[in-house]
């Protein structure tokens, strides 16, 4: 057995061990969600002797409205962020106007401001607008905050597109919005999907902002709702873990159907740090 073979063996063995360590918590979560409290206590690591699908029924009744709220707020935010940031990034990348560079760098400089510093000013603005305890209390701040990084990414990508495509469209009489909709957006589709996925995941997992702006139980997103769910089932891990799994299913479905575009966007240089 030569040294090269031994080296390859240990390399693959190490990768397999790391993969197993990464996946085991998810495996443990799934099998624990199918156990009763007694079985979880006395058979901590083993498979359930009797599968309890009733745990998922109880969890769905508790978290379904929170999942619905998060789907509405995150989806609306993603649509608004993708449209506004792609159009602004397109204008900054393909057109010259007085103060363009100053405005662009002023927007990008906001990336250096920690989000915690804007928490109180944003809360005061939302309160003065009368948006507390409404879905718009999350949708509008998420939209405004999510555009900054998206504009930077989309500007970087659209700046690399050949100018001949846009010039040919102008010669044919196409307007600014027509060029944006028929040339810039189709060419930037993987980048836009990448931005959409990243922003959807970010808003879906956000907990601080919804926690301070939404106190009505019927309007809570899934992150805040799961906290209340934890309090109700803190001694019954089966329904609790089932609720965690149900709350993560939309993100899994999203990534399964958009994974190809997400990887394509990353490989095409969509994210330039």
Q: pLDDT of the chain along its 273 residues, tens only? A: 566 677 777 888 888 898 888 888 888 888 888 888 778 777 777 788 788 888 898 889 888 999 999 999 999 999 999 999 999 999 998 888 898 889 999 988 888 888 788 888 999 999 999 999 999 999 999 998 888 889 998 888 888 888 888 888 888 888 888 888 888 888 888 889 889 998 999 999 998 899 999 988 889 999 888 888 777 666 678 888 888 899 989 988 888 887 777 776 666 654 444
- Length in residues, the chain: 273
Structure tokens at 25: 């918590």
End-to-end CA distance of the chain: 44
C-alpha 216/C-alpha 44 separation (Å) is 36
- Please, what is the angle between helix 222-232 and helix 237-267, to 10°? 160
Question: Which pTM does this prediction carry?
Answer: 0.84
**C-alpha distances out from residue 205 to 166, 199, 224, 247, Å:** 38, 10, 10, 10
Query: Do residues 129 and 141 lie in contact, with contact meaning Cβ atoms separated by under 8 Å?
Result: no
CA angle 111, 116, 117 (to 5 degrees): 75
Query: What is the CATH number assigned to the segment(s) 55-267?
Result: 1.10.3720.10
Would you list the domain boundaries of the chain?
55-267
Phi, psi angle pair for 260, to nearest 5°: -60, -45
């Amino acid at each position: 057995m030569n040294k090269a073979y031994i080296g390859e063996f240990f390399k693959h063995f190490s990768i397999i061990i790391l993969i197993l360590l990464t996946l085991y918590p998810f495996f443990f979560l799934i099998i624990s969600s199918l156990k009763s409290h007694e079985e979880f206590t006395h058979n901590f690591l083993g498979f359930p002797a009797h599968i309890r699908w009733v745990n998922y029924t109880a969890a769905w009744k508790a978290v379904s409205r929170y999942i619905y709220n998060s789907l509405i707020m995150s989806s609306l935010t993603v649509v608004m962020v993708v449209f506004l940031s792609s159009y602004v990034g397109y204008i900054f990348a393909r057109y010259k106007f007085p103060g363009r560079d100053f405005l662009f760098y002023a927007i990008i400089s906001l990336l250096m401001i920690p989000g915690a510093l804007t928490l109180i000013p944003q809360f005061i603005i939302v309160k003065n607008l009368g948006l507390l305890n409404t879905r718009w209390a999350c949708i509008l701040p998420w939209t405004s905050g999510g555009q900054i990084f998206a504009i930077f990414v989309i500007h970087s990508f659209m700046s690399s597109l050949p100018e001949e495509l846009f010039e040919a469209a102008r010669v044919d009489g196409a307007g600014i919005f027509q060029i944006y909709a028929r040339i810039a957006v189709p060419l930037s589709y993987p980048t836009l999907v990448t931005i959409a996925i990243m922003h959807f995941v970010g808003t879906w997992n956000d907990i601080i902002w919804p926690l301070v702006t939404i106190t009505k139980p019927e309007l809570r997103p899934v992150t805040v709702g799961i906290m209340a769910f934890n309090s109700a089932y803190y001694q019954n891990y089966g329904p609790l873990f089932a609720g965690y799994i149900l709350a993560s299913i939309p993100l899994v479905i999203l990534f399964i159907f958009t994974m190809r575009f997400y990887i394509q966007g990353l490989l095409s240089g969509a994210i330039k740090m």
